[in-house]
Structure 1
Amino acid sequence: MYIHLAAITSLILIAPSLLLGVTSQTSQSETCNSCCQGPAGIPGIPGNGIPGSPGNNGSPGNNGLPGRDGLKGDRGDTGSIGPAGERGFSGPQGPSGEMGEPGPSARGLPGKVGPSGMRGSPGLAGQSGPIGEKGSNGEAPEIRRSAFTVVKTSQQTQSSGAVLTFDTVETNISNHYDSSSHKFTCQLPGTYVFTYTIASGTSSHNPWIELVKDGRRIAAAHVRDSAADFQQSSITVVLQMATGNQVWLRGGSGTVYSDSGKYSTFAGFLLY
């Protein structure tokens, strides 16, 4: 503020001198216009050179016109293939296409048999037919039977391997037991039950008797005498028999005791 007032004061003081100078030059030039130019006037006092305060910023100018497109650059190098992305969700099913033309008329192979259908409801009962005439009585089926029982009525001293004999036949259904050979021969194949009992009368007997099938021992009965007491031993076996198989008893040692009381026996029968 003080600087501006000083500058104005200096100008007021200098202004009359400048005006006088100009008037003097004008009159001189007018008087001396016909002869020559007069001397130069005295220069004025320069200002103090203090600049004024800056003005306020002006408002922004309008946007300029768009520039021209630049030149197209060179094509860059091809980049490497990136990793495969994750598989996206399946889209909705598209509409069915139009039906194609029929294929060749050659007949294909038969298809697989399909599952059985549901059972239908039972049909209506038919009318009863006429009663037929009564037929004649048929023949009764043949019953397959085989059984025997034989006994001893006297004692017998046995040698090793000898057939034990029985002198009395109590039962012999179908006659499959041969009383001469004292062996049973199978005529009806099946399952049989065989049983035998041997007795000892004194301490010196000690009988040993085997049941054999076709010569092979199946079972054995042994009576060990402890004194003069009477003792018995029994064996029962079940055998599968085929036609022609034979079963009998054979001695090992000792004496088989029996009398009219029939203490020693041999029996067998077809089970089924």
Structure 2
Amino acid sequence: MLYHCFLLIASLRSVVAMETCPTTGMPGIPGIPGMPGRDGREGEKGEKGQPGAVLHGGLDLQKGEKGAPGMMGYAGKRGQNGEPGKSGSSGIAGPPGQPGDPGAVGVQLKAAFSVARGTHEFPQKASIIRFTKVITNINDDYDTESGRFRCRVPGAYYFVFHASLGNKLCVLMKLDQTLIASFCDHRYRRQQVTSGGLAVYLSRNQEVWMETKDYRGMRGQQNGHSIFSGFLLHPH
């Protein structure tokens, strides 16, 4: 009887406590994890997917499309020279050439000039005598501006001069600054002439000229020409 009274009183207190002032307790210790559940039932079958890319040639790796050309690489090192090849056979002979111009060889082996003084004035002292009036001058071997003859055809030449005097005269014949002969006439008379000449061997591009010395009385008038000449005797 007494036990039931205590239970009744405790129940009443609990009801009163819950209604008047509820108290929150401390959380309890987590429970032990439960056993894994069983697999669920299979789901419904999904819709059919889109077709994939078609493979060519089986399931192996496929060759892709050709790419763009790459940049040119650096030049490689020069390889070793190969062995000389065998000589080829002789080709077919060509047709005969056109005939050359007649007399071309003969012109090359000709050399001659004759020039006269074109002024009545005496030449300058100790200077090259210029003969400016051309009588004959094959291939312009004698230069009227410089007063020099330049050898184009090597060989033996003969040079000669003829001077009408207006006073005493002494002239030098030179070959490339080397004196080869001197001709002097120290006796002056009216209507007097003097001349001289020699043969000399010339190589190609050597030059010959006449030059004054102390006396320079060489006239160049119409009534008294002074002439310098040279010609090839024999080509080398």
In the other structure, the counterpart of 2:105 is 142
Which amino acid is the alignment partner of residue 192 of structure 1? Y
Structure 2: 5+ residue stretches without partners: 1-95
CA contact 2:168–2:188 (8 Å) conserved in 1: no
In the other structure, the counterpart of 2:229 is 267
In the other structure, the counterpart of 1:213 is 175
Q: Report 1:1-272 matches (<5 A).
A: 138-139=99-100, 140=102, 142-143=105-106, 144-201=109-166, 205-227=167-189, 229-254=190-215, 255-272=217-234
CA contact 1:158–1:253 (8 Å) conserved in 2: no
Alpha-carbon RMSD across the aligned residues, in angstroms, is 2.0
Structure number with higher strand proportion: 2
Aligned residue pairs, count: 134
State the shift of 1:154 in Å. Answer: 2.9
Q: TM-score, normalised by structure 2?
A: 0.52
CA distance in 1, matches of 2:202, 2:185: 28
Which amino acid is the alignment partner of residue 240 of structure 1? Y
Structure 1: 5+ residue stretches without partners: 1-134
| Displaced runs of 4 or more, over 6 A | none
Tell me, what secondary structure is at the counterpart of 1:207?
Answer: strand
CA distance in 2, matches of 1:226, 1:182: 26
Once the two structures are superposed, what CA deviation does each residue of 1:203-231 show, in whole Å capped at 9, x if it has no partner?
A: xx21111111111111122222344x221
Bigger radius of gyration, 1 or 2?
1
CA distance in 2, matches of 1:136, 1:167: 43
| Identical amino acids, percent of aligned pairs | 23
Which amino acid is the alignment partner of residue 249 of structure 1? M
CA distance in 1, matches of 2:231, 2:188: 34
Tell me, what secondary structure is at the counterpart of 2:140?
Answer: coil
CA distance in 2, matches of 1:226, 1:261: 17
State the shift of 1:138 in Å. Answer: 3.5
